[in-house]
């Protein structure tokens, strides 16, 4: 799929600063895009990456235009423009490519006859795929894996060796990303990345792992994930980390090696958690964790305006206690 910048500008209601005939064949991040791809920047936070990017073109607003050293597509709402454009580069599964396991030939693997297998699917030696699974185009599954009933592994996902995926799990589902327009209507952002799972990983029943928005969602070697866990787009989970049931990890969070995350933990997006961290059950993680250790955090829900006041007092309790001790000594 190729588009000229002129076609892209019309699609996203933008103007061009540069070559309108420049052809674009894909979307990528600012730091990874090549001269035939387009990227986008939404705030000053990205101005250094914007000025050094090798992208063939970048979607920006007027305030960031001066930092763009390549072709620019200038729009009012960058996120909305990217959402609209991403849909044009999305690869959807062609259901006509799906054939029953009984029609496929994988002599060194065992695949249930009623599974549906797409094109260009690689299945390693001694791997077992149980009944009612759907394995879409361009999926790669390593050696000695066990894929239990009713699992969906969606287009382009990669599974390493010695992995176990329990019933009902979904690997490579569309991530949750939307941009809002001037009329307060939502526009879905197509997720163009994949899911990459390492070796010796186990994934629990009805767990969902979303594909990346541009780059991949990554589950590294030795990770153990319980039932009913949700892992959003572009999350990276380090080696030998274990995650208990009902945990939700929001997009673009990076979790280190050998972490232990208890049940029903909620982790806010775009955070970094260092290696060897233990997070106790039902905790909410809403900031980076830079030091190894055991963490717990929860408090009853309240109006956000009230929570801001409470939060200020909580962070000053030690100082208040010290002040009160001094006052009491003076009184005595």
Whether residue 141 contacts residue 147, with contact meaning beta carbons closer than 8 Å, is answered with yes
The reply to whether 67 belongs to the active site is: no
**What is the C-alpha radius of gyration for the chain, rounded to an integer number of angstroms?**
24
Single out the catalytic residue among 187, 233, 270, 304: 233
DSSP-derived secondary structure for 3-22 = EEHHHHHHHHT-EEES-TT-
Query: CA-based diameter of the chain, in Å?
Result: 89
Spatial distance between the Cα atoms of 306 and 288, rounded to a whole number of angstroms: 23
Query: What is the rounded CA–CA span in Å between residue 43 and residue 51?
Result: 13
Cα gap 123→292, rounded to integer Å: 38
What torsion do the CA atoms of 200, 214, 90, 111 make, to the nearest 10 degrees? Answer: 0
Show Cβ contacts of residue 307 under 8 Å, excluding neighbours closer than 6 positions.
299
Three-class secondary structure of residue 157 per DSSP: coil
- Whole-angstrom CA distances from 154 to 10, 59, 61, 327 are 32, 29, 34, 65
> Can you tell me the distance from the alpha carbon of 253 to that of 31, in angstroms, rounded to the nearest whole number?
18
DSSP state of 289: B
Element (H, E) at 116: strand 116-117
Known catalytic residues are 233
């Amino acid at each position: 799929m190729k588009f000229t910048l002129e076609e892209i500008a019309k699609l996203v209601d933008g103007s061009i600063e540069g070559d309108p005939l420049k052809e674009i064949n894909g979307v990528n991040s600012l730091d990874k895009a090549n001269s035939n791809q387009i990227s986008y920047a939404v705030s000053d936070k990205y101005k250094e990456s914007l000025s050094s990017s090798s992208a063939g073109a970048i979607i920006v607003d007027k305030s960031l235009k001066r930092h763009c050293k390549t072709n620019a597509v200038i729009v009012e709402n960058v996120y909305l423009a990217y959402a609209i454009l991403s849909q044009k580069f999305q690869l959807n599964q062609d259901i006509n490519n799906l054939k029953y396991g009984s029609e496929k030939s994988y002599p060194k693997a065992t695949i249930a006859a009623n599974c549906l297998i797409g094109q260009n699917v690689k299945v390693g030696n001694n791997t077992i795929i149980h009944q009612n699974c759907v394995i879409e185009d361009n999926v790669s599954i390593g050696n000695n894996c066990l894929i239990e009933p009713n699992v969906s592994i969606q287009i382009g996902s990669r599974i390493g060796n010695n992995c176990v995926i329990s019933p009902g799990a979904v690997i490579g589902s569309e991530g949750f990303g939307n941009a809002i327009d001037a009329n307060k209507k939502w526009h879905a952002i197509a997720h163009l990345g994949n899911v990459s799972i390492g070796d010796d990983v186990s994934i629990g029943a009805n767990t969902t792992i979303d594909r990346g928005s541009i780059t991949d969602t990554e589950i590294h070697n030795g990770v153990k994930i319980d039932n009913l866990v949700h892992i959003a787009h572009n999350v990276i989970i380090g080696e030998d980390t274990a995650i208990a049931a009902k945990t939700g990890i929001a997009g673009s969070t990076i979790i280190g090696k050998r972490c232990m995350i208890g049940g029903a933990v909620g982790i806010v997006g775009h955070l970094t958690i260092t290696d060897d961290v233990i997070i106790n059950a039902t905790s909410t993680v809403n900031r980076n964790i830079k030091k190894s250790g055991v963490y717990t955090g929860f408090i009853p829900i309240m109006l956000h305006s009230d929570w801001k006041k409470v939060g200020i007092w909580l962070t000053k309790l030690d100082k208040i206690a010290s002040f009160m001790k001094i006052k009491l000594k003076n009184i005595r």
